[in-house]
Structure 1
Amino acid sequence: MAFLLKANTLEGNWDLLFTAIQWIQFVMATLSVIGSSSLIAYAVFQNIQKSPEIRPLFYLSFSDLLLGICWLIEALLYGTSAANKDIVCYNLQSVGQIFYISSFFYTVSYIWYLYRELRMKHNQNGQSIFPLVIDYTCRAGQIATILSSLIPLLLMIPVFCLGNASECFRNFSQSHRCILMHSPPSAMAELLPSANTSVCNTLYFYGLIIFLASFLLSLLTIVVLVIQAQTLYKKFVKSTGFLGSEQWAVIHIVEQRVCFYPVAFFCCWGPAVILVIIKLIKPQDTKLHMALYVLQALTTSSQGLLNSGVYGWTQYKFYQLKQEARRDADTQTPLLCSQKRFYSRDLDPLESTLAFGTSTSTIL
């Protein structure tokens, strides 16, 4: 009797947990949809979605938008008795995996563009850039954009084809799987002759391997790009060439984005990766799993919100720096400006160069 009471209490706690996860996912996915769609709308209204910098960010926001819609639908489906709910949840999660792997690659593509922008500006500071080099980098960016969408789709074709053919969606939503990213095959599949358990198990681990491999590969590439970008930024600080205040503002904001987007990337997907690794080591659900389920619902669903927030904040800082530079240039003589830059170089290279008159501008 005590065992049954304890089992019922534990089951009730899990029901409350997944109900809380449902609402957390609903709220965060809604905010993510709003954030990513606002960035897309800004790019379209400003007619800058085809510019070299905005293009990878535009596609990243579009992936965030579609992913947020998938998670929003899953949260709305959980707890309902809709027809063919199991099939819809299984395929929604498979589609969602395409979008978040695409978002990994688009994040790498955008950070690579920012690093490339810093490198080109560093080269321009001492020498001219050949048009052939610029054309080559633009073509490489276009190829990276195409592959970022094509590779995840090709990787997930077996999950769609074999998973639906083997009916891996059987009893999918009854185990709270509609709101979880990676769920093991249903235990009831052994009782269902139409469900091929071995195929479903293989597809489950296949999905985990794709997720972990794409995340770790993206993270490693991002770390390398961030280190290279920091090295370039230090060279800017130590350089003796003339840089206008707006040039310094651009360089400073690009460097900040190179740092902030990886932080947002890791904050969004770090808990999900940790949860997957722990579940591979210890499949049985524990209190640690419960905490990570909640943390995952908070972070993975918020990628669109965080990415748009980083862009909006850095864009605001860029315009703020430009306004400060213009006010400073209007109140000081050129000689005083140059003296200020010379004596303040070792203290704060960004502030020391903001005293110069504006000379260039760029779309950020």
Structure 2
Amino acid sequence: MYKFFSAIQWIQFVMATLSVIGSSSLIAYAIFQNIQKSPEIRPIFYLSFSDLLLGICWLMEALLYGTSAASKDIFCYNLQAVGQIFYISSFLYTVYYIWYLYKELRMKHNQSGQSTFLPVIDHTYQVGQIVIVLSSLIPLLLMIPVFCLGNASECFRNFSQSHRCILMYSPPSAMAELLPSANTSVCSTLYFYGLIIFLASFLLSLFIIVVLLIQAQALFKKFVKSTGFLGSEQWAAIHIVEQQVLFYPVAFFCCWGPAAILMIIKLMKPQDTKLHMALYVLQALTGSSQGLLNCGVYGWTQYKFHQLKQKARRDADTQTPLLCSQKRFYSRGLSPLESTLAFATSTSDIF
């Protein structure tokens, strides 16, 4: 059993390191380009920042596992609580980013040819500011009982210590009754509280993302049908936005789906089985890799847009002057896509 959890430790260490590198790359790129405050980059910037902090927590937990430090139990307990703040924040920031992509697309469709474009932009910006504050504040408030009551009741003594640093939730130890310094009832309640908070936030975020995804797909079809002719670069832009709306939810579920499934199974069947062991490994592979996957999705979509844009330019060079002038004429009538093209063009050069 020790070799099994030691393997999980190294898996978590490697994946957390890659996640830190991936999220740091996105943050460094946004700061270097001085675009971290732009409406398009702000959601992914804050999401990457949460992924970075979460990756650091996972990395520290992997390094602490197996050590004989005197205060290791206290550090591991509080690192778990801090990590839960960051991955709930990452849930909320993922929802915010998908909402922003959907909102931009809907706004471009509804405001085509109208004069109320700027007020809608200001309203979206204000809502985004509120969402950013709440996405950081809500997880912290939810975890205050875990910090205060847990440390006061010495719950770091009341759980299975050997695996605390590498498992998201260690169930109450069977020997808890033998530890007079630990309040068993309080610690057990906090354990189920944290588990329910994780599952509730994950399922709620997943539900909202699926709803936005369905609405976005319907809006894509409606947008194409109502707009008429689209130039090659406009097609490239809308295709990349569609891929972003699809791939970020896929990355979200791949990262946290195994952990959620494991928590649900442990609620129904607490005893470890071969299925639990397989999910432990899968959780170590995916749970700490969100920064890496989000960086990969962002880089890949920008690279694909660059390819599509270059292909559109090559196609334009082979067309007759009449066809080129017709495309320019129709493209000028599609002003709602100009901001999307400007953002995609400015961010694609780095990849």
TM-score between both structures, scaled by the size of structure 1:
0.88
1:119 to 90, 106, 110: 106
Structure 1 unmatched ranges of 5 or more: 1-13, 341-352
The Cα shift of 1:246 comes to 2.7
Does residue 221 of structure 1 match 2:208?
yes
Matches within 5 A, 1:1-364: 14-170=1-157, 172=159, 174-333=161-320, 335-336=322-323, 360=338, 361-364=341-344
Alpha-carbon distance between aligned partners in 2 of 1:314 and 1:334, rounded to the nearest angstrom: 31
The Cα shift of 1:232 comes to 1.1
Alpha-carbon distance between aligned partners in 2 of 1:39 and 1:296, rounded to the nearest angstrom: 24
Alpha-carbon distance between aligned partners in 1 of 2:18 and 2:63, rounded to the nearest angstrom: 15
| Matched residue SS, 1:362 | helix
Please tell me the root mean square deviation across aligned C-alpha atoms, in Å.
2.0
Contact in 2 for aligned 1:64/1:100 (Cα 8 Å): yes
Alpha-carbon distance between aligned partners in 1 of 2:6 and 2:119, rounded to the nearest angstrom: 56
Q: Which residue of 2 aligns with 1:345?
A: none
Percent identity over the alignment? 85
Comparing 276-285 and 123-132, the one that deviates more:
123-132
The Cα shift of 1:337 comes to 5.5
The Cα shift of 1:16 comes to 1.4
The Cα shift of 1:237 comes to 2.5
TM-score between both structures, scaled by the size of structure 2:
0.91
Contact in 1 for aligned 2:107/2:120 (Cα 8 Å): no
The Cα shift of 1:242 comes to 4.4
Contact in 2 for aligned 1:125/1:241 (Cα 8 Å): no
Structure 1 residues 185, 334: closer, same or farther in 2, change over 3 A? farther
The Cα shift of 1:339 comes to 8.7
The Cα shift of 1:327 comes to 1.8
Alpha-carbon distance between aligned partners in 1 of 2:297 and 2:291, rounded to the nearest angstrom: 10
Alpha-carbon distance between aligned partners in 1 of 2:95 and 2:326, rounded to the nearest angstrom: 40
The Cα shift of 1:330 comes to 2.4
Alpha-carbon distance between aligned partners in 1 of 2:310 and 2:89, rounded to the nearest angstrom: 37
Q: Which residue of 2 aligns with 1:3?
A: none
Alpha-carbon distance between aligned partners in 1 of 2:227 and 2:73, rounded to the nearest angstrom: 64
Structure 2 unmatched ranges of 5 or more: 345-351
| Matched residue SS, 2:171 | coil
Please say which structure displays the higher CA radius of gyration. Answer: 1
Alpha-carbon distance between aligned partners in 2 of 1:299 and 1:243, rounded to the nearest angstrom: 39
Alpha-carbon distance between aligned partners in 2 of 1:191 and 1:202, rounded to the nearest angstrom: 18
Q: Which residue of 1 aligns with 2:348?
A: none
1:47-81 superposed Cα distances (whole Å, 9 cap, x missing partner): 11001011010000000000000000000110111
Alpha-carbon distance between aligned partners in 2 of 1:176 and 1:38, rounded to the nearest angstrom: 31
Q: Give aligned pairs, total.
A: 336
The Cα shift of 1:143 comes to 0.6
